[in-house]
């Protein structure tokens, strides 16, 4: 649980810092054009390209430098609560995939121009959804301690077996979505 707490703290700090940067860039370009913010559009374009590269690399079976070593999970299982908190705080800062999804969520929220309260709620929902895959097994283990071990072991084995196609599909879908959004945002700047 402390691991999830650490990840939540880091994501909240990332949200504060980058929403401030994106809001500042939106305010400086607000009067200049009626289209999307060029910084947000560029960020979405770059993120889309990075995700498509990740999908291609995984499809070509190249080693992914972001994949943690096998002992990573055992380290988390055997760590103290303070060490797990440290891992949770640090992992979102060093894992490129987590940066891509956090920045893309922030850029998408900024592009929607929801206003401050709705943007904050949308980002908090992103954090909840992003960490739901970590929280659900914890809740399942608390509610059903004896049955959860076998079910979670089966699910973990399934995820391990299907990691490659899942990664390819998610990277491809989000990569194309962000690429389209970034290009259309930049093109709307040229038209305006």
Contact between 114 and 123 (Cβ < 8 Å): no
Of the listed ranges 6-15, 71-80, 173-182, the one predicted with least confidence:
71-80
pLDDT beyond 80 at 88 = yes
Annotated domain spans of the chain: 2-191
Percent over 90 (pLDDT), the chain:
6
Q: Whole-angstrom Cα distance, residue 93 to residue 71? A: 20
Place of tokens 């979505």: 177
Q: Whole-angstrom Cα distance, residue 166 to residue 35? A: 34
Contact between 182 and 42 (Cβ < 8 Å): yes
Q: pLDDT band for 124, please (50, 70, 90 cuts).
A: very high
Q: Give the per-residue pLDDT at 122.
A: 92
Contact between 36 and 188 (Cβ < 8 Å): yes
Q: What is the DSSP letter of 182?
A: H
Q: Give the per-residue pLDDT at 125.
A: 94
Highest mean pLDDT among 66-80, 93-107, 110-124: 110-124
Record the tokens describing residue 179, joined without a space: 């690429």
Q: Give the per-residue pLDDT at 31.
A: 47
Of the listed ranges 48-57, 152-161, 164-173, the one predicted with least confidence:
152-161
pLDDT beyond 50 at 69 = no
Q: Give the per-residue pLDDT at 17.
A: 84
Q: What is the DSSP letter of 26?
A: H
Q: Give the per-residue pLDDT at 23.
A: 64
Give the C-alpha distances (Å, rounded to integers) separating 179 from 32, 63, 75, 96, 162.
24, 24, 36, 18, 25
Three-state SS string over 58-122 comes to HHCCCCCCCCCCCHHHHHHHHCCHHHHHHHHHHHHHHCHHHHHHHHHHHHHHHHHCCCHHHHHHH
Place of tokens 């988390």: 76
Closest CA to 68 of 44, 50, 95, 47: 95
* pLDDT, tens digit (0-9, with 9 covering 90-100), for 178-187: 888 889 888 8
């Amino acid at each position: 649980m402390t691991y999830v707490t650490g990840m939540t703290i880091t994501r909240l700090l990332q949200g504060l810092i980058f929403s401030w940067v994106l809001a500042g860039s939106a305010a400086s370009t607000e009067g200049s054009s009626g289209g999307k913010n060029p910084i947000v559009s560029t960020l979405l374009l770059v993120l889309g390209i990075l995700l498509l590269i990740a999908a291609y690399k995984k499809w070509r079976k190249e080693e992914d430098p972001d994949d943690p070593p096998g002992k990573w999970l055992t380290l988390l299982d055997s760590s103290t609560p303070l060490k797990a908190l440290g891992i949770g705080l640090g992992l979102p800062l060093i894992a490129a995939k987590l940066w891509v999804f956090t920045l893309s969520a922030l850029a998408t929220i900024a592009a929607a121009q929801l206003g401050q309260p709705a943007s904050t709620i949308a980002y908090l929902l992103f954090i909840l959804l992003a960490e739901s895959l970590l929280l659900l097994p914890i809740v399942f283990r608390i509610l059903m301690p004896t049955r959860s071990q076998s079910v979670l072991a089966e699910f973990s084995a399934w995820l391990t077996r299907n990691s490659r196609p899942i990664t390819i599909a998610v990277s491809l879908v989000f990569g194309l979505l962000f690429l389209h959004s970034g290009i259309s945002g930049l093109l709307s700047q040229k038209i305006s």
